Amino acid sequence: MKEESTDVVVKDEIHNLIEVFSKKSYKVTGDTKVDPVAEKCLKLFSKDYHFSVINNTVGSLCAHYPSKIVILEYERACPYHERVESLYDGHHIKELFKQARFARCRSRFVVPVILLDGKYVCRSATLASGAEMYGRSGLDFLTGNEHNPSKIRKTSSDSDLQMFDRVRGQDINILKTFSVKYIVDLMVEKKKVKFGMNVTSSEKVDKENRYGEFCIISAPYPGCEFFKEWRDNGYMGEDMKFDWSQSFVDACLDIPPTELLQELSIDWQQYKHWDLIQLTKNYLKMLVHMFTNGDKGILVHCISGWDRTPMFVSLLRLTLWADGLIHKSLSATEILYLTLAYDWYLFGHSLSDRLMRGEEILLFCFYFLPHIATDEFSVQSLRSTKRQKSSVGQDIAANGFLRTTGDTYSKEVRKHLSSVGSGGSSSGSARISVERKRNSSSSSLSSNGSFTIEPCSRYFLQYENDEDVIDEQSDVSAQTSSNCTLLQTTPCQRSSSPMMVPENRGRQSSLSDSPTCGRLLAGDIRVRESAVDRVGL
């Protein structure tokens, strides 16, 4: 008899989320109604973690951060949680956020978003310039959000140096609170300049070396504008290289020669010669290695922290989930909802604006997943654990899911990040195909579950058959085709190739009842010129 599904998320909710997401950006309002997306994320977090929630009602901390900011503390399933837990005074944390928010661009302060073995992956925007610090603090005072006017008056008489020391000092306090050691700066600039004026700064050019105790990694990565070129290039990242000679690009790749980073066998001096795929793969490999093998946490940021930052946070979350290291009880559909909702939507990614401009960085994030389905992105592999490989075709067996005999976790993962459930026989070898349709009038999905990309502006999913601080312990529960070219290439050529994945990369719960995940992650995210359409089963 088939077990009843305990999934918090159903398929239609993924579609509904993207439908809303593609029309307008998320902003915190004063509406007292329950935020259904935020509440759903809390339920998903509660399946695996104890956490506290910092209320950001009416955007009192940041207008484009979640209304409920989650501070993960420890895993529910950990029998020795006292060894890894980080139980914080929520009111103190909120006060830290409040005092430090002016240190970062658009008040997007440092927030922990992923927890593993007591270490955090944090996200934020880059450092704010002095002009923005003064401007935002003054505006906050005028609008009544600042309850300590004497501090603001003092600021006006302080020297710039004292003001920077105080505000950035609070930012450093947050980094120390969450035990951050590594700061990964994705900006291609040392400082963002507009109209001849510095509008942001960054840790790597702080004149007083306030961030000298941290390991700062300058890892320049193309901004969202580059992904319009990716779209115009037929959604092909191979052999597509960023122009590092542009006048505004003044940040160079800088990897400190630490023992941890030297363990990676990557020739960093060649970074300007890497195409988009290779650049992304090497940066992600570095992030995974630092986080899983390092002794402390990492901060990832770009300029505003809502394009490149969520992409790498999302890829990190998915690859760690794929190894069974985080969110161990979440199904593939649930982890997809969580990363779309929390990492992208609730943290302010403007999908509607990006689609209008053709800057499809979110689509690239999911397009890129087949490239990390290989053994080299397995944490166990990075730790030099011997692993056995199997083809994607073997993974898509019996309803598209495979449980490895003797494994603690079911093997549902990498194939979901790189393939689609086909419903074919277990002996058949399913291959990922990439259809490139131009001027296509057909929106039908081929029966082999191919990954279809069409130019371009809306996502289309099709499915197959007060308390300022809330301490969450057990209250939040989990109740609740014309001109088409079909490409099938060899593994060494294109992303449409069959991906090799390790036999034991897996998850805890079996998803044999839900063959939608692969389609949602890779197979059925389409780009169309029409608005989002609703399609049933």
Residue 401: count of CB within 10 angstroms of its CB: 26
The overall longest dimension of the chain from CA atoms, in Å, is 75
pLDDT of residue 43: 96
Provide the pairing of β-strand 297-301 with 484-487. Answer: unpaired
What pLDDT is stored for residue 389 in this prediction? 30
> Which one of 105, 224, 302, 456 is the catalytic residue?
302
Q: How many other C-beta atoms are found inside a 10 Å radius of the C-beta of residue 243?
A: 10
Query: Residue 88 has what pLDDT?
Result: 79
Residue pair 140/116 in contact by the 8 Å Cβ criterion: no
Residue 236 pLDDT: 94
Q: Which two tokens stand for residue 222?
A: 């193309």
Phi, psi (degrees; rounded to nearest 5) at 349? -65, 130
Which pLDDT score is estimated for 274?
98
Residues 170, 171, 177, CA angle at the centre, nearest 5°? 85
Separation between Cα atoms, residue 432 and residue 518, nearest integer Å: 11
3-state secondary structure of 421: coil
DSSP string, 83-128: GT-----HHHHHHHHHHHGGGBGGG---EEEEEETTEEEEEE--BB
Query: 392: exposed, middle or buried (C-beta count within 10 Å: 0-12, 13-18, 19+)?
Result: buried
Among 133, 60, 66, 42, CA closest to 347: 66
C-beta separation of 445 from 462 below 8 A: yes
β-bridge mates for residue 53, sequence order: 70, 470
Quick one: how many helices (H) and strands (E) in the chain? 17, 17
Eight-class DSSP state of 493: T
Can you give the pLDDT at residue 327? 97
Amino acid at 69: I
160 burial level (CB within 10 Å; 0-12, 13-18, 19+): exposed
Instruction: State residue 299's pLDDT score.
Output: 98
Residue ranges of the chain whose pLDDT lies below 70 = 1-5, 30-33, 78-87, 131, 134-159, 193-199, 381-537
DSSP code for 371 = G
Strand segments (E) across 179-254? 180-185, 193-194, 197-198, 215-218
Specify the DSSP class assigned to residue 174.
H
Decide if 122 is catalytic: no
Answer for the pair 210, 183: CB distance below 8 angstroms, yes or no: no
pTM of the model: 0.74
Q: Residue 197, SS3? A: strand
Q: How far apart are CA 30 and CA 501, in angstroms?
A: 47
- Smallest CA-to-CA distance from 211 within 103, 345, 339 is with 103
Element (H, E) at 486: strand 484-487
Every domain of the chain and the residues it spans: 29-348, 368-465+481-537
- Specify the DSSP class assigned to residue 339: I
Shortest CA distance to 294 belongs to which of 383, 427, 225, 363? 383
**Amino acid at position 110, single letter:** V
DSSP 270: G
How far the first Cα of the chain sits from its last, in Å, is 23
